[in-house]
Amino acid sequence: MSAGFWDAGLIVAKTVTYAATFGAAGAVFFLTVCAALMAAAERQRIHRLVLAAALLSVLGGGAQILTSAASMSGDASGMMDGSLLGMVWQAGAGRANGSRALGLLVAVLASRSQRTAWLACLGAAAAATSFAWIGHARALGPDALPILLLSLHLTGIAFWLGALVPLSVIAAGGDPLHTGAAAARFGSVAALVVGALLAAGAVLLWLLLGRSLALWTSAYGRWVMFKLVWVAAILCLAVFNKWRLTPRLLSGDRRAVAQLRNTIRVEMLVGGVILAVTATFTTLAGPPALD
């Protein structure tokens, strides 16, 4: 059966939930790593961003449950069908949405003080990894390894993609030295985090493909290849930021601030495409390991 209107709605809701959750969690991680380098007004703006993204994440999660029920019934009546909604809730959506909302609440409240930054990071990590409570990695079996790998992957994505808006908030001030200091601090941690997220993603992919790396032989693998093209593009942008723009910012080059703002916009766009592609293939295709 081909995908229909409600399946498209489900994919949109999933994409929004991913973006909002990673945005909120990543901004909390960024605050923890770079708080000492930021002005009070910047920290305030990022706190408001965390709150707005957390609210959007909760709404997106609710929309996912409603559109899943509508997808099953084939029309909007599914959204009002308590028994269908109950089925979706009990099949993992309840656990995922509950842990996400709780994690975000803790992150929002605890990120207001530096003394509770560790607790805010714990909440952010709980929210980012909430997607592991449901989905293909969980279906791989009783083995905990796929869920651990996915959790590591998700936390890394939140750290990376969620830092883009806070970085653009700092770059908006136009001060190259201030922006460069934050970019350098973030970049030094991000190098390790991105390495871990790519390694975890590669091993998880190998498991999902049935202990194989034959990408072209399944629809799922072809979707992953499509995603990897965009991942390669965003990696190139991140490398450009770290190795070319950050040294120029640290040397006081004002034009580098404008360039950083532009590359961050492109990174956000590419990051959005990656999340949309992931939402699409995790909805429409099953991994070969589960066939």
When asked if residue 272 is in the footprint of other proteins (CB under 8 A), the reply is no
Range 143-160 burial, b when 16+ CB lie within 10 A, else e: eeebbebbbbbbbbbbbb
Total residues interacting with other proteins, rule: CB under 8 A: 38
CB 67 within 8 A of CB 9: yes
* Separation of CA 283 from chain center: 17
Q: Is 290 in the site for other proteins (CB under 8 A)?
A: yes
State the nearest-atom distance from the C-beta of 151 to other proteins, in Å.
16
Only one of the segments 25-33, 92-100, 167-175, 187-195 lies at the binding site for other proteins (rule: CB under 8 A); that segment is 92-100
CA atoms within 13 A on the CB side of 229: 8
Query: Which of 44, 90, 114, 262: binder of other proteins (CB under 8 A)?
Result: 90
Nearer to other proteins, 77 or 251 (CB): 77
Cβ distance to other proteins smaller for residue 7 or 267: 7
Q: Which of 230, 159, 249 is nearest to 200 (CA)?
A: 159
Closest by Cα among 203, 195, 121 to 162:
121
- Give least dist CB 63 to other proteins, A: 15
Site membership for other proteins, residue 210 (CB under 8 A): no
Binding of other proteins at residue 236 (CB under 8 A)? no
Structure tokens of 261? 């703002």
Does the protein bind other proteins through residue 266 (CB under 8 A)?
Answer: no
Binding mask 119-158 for other proteins (x = CB under 8 A): ---------------xxx-xx-------------------
| Residue 1: CB minimum distance to other proteins, A | 5
Closest of 226, 279, 223, 281 to residue 12, by C-alpha = 279
> Residue 30 corresponds to which tokens in the numbers above?
């960024």
Residues constituting the chain: 291
Cα–Cα dist 199/202, whole Å: 5
Cα atoms in the 13 Å half-sphere on the side-chain side of 91: 13
Q: Confirm or reject binding of residue 83 to other proteins (CB under 8 A).
A: yes
- Decide if residue 219 touches other proteins (CB under 8 A): yes
Contact flag: residue 71 with other proteins (CB under 8 A) = yes
Residue 93, amino acid: A
Indicate the residue among 87 and 105 with the shorter CB distance to other proteins: 87
Indicate the residue among 116 and 283 with the shorter CB distance to other proteins: 283
State yes or no: residue 269 binds other proteins (CB under 8 A). no
- Cα torsion 222, 225, 229, 231: sign: positive
The rounded Cα 166 to chain-centroid distance in angstroms is 14
Which pair of tokens denotes residue 243?
């190795």
Q: Which residues bind other proteins (CB under 8 A)?
A: 1-3, 7, 10, 68, 71-74, 83-84, 87-88, 90-93, 96, 134-136, 138-139, 218-220, 222-223, 226, 280-281, 283-286, 290-291
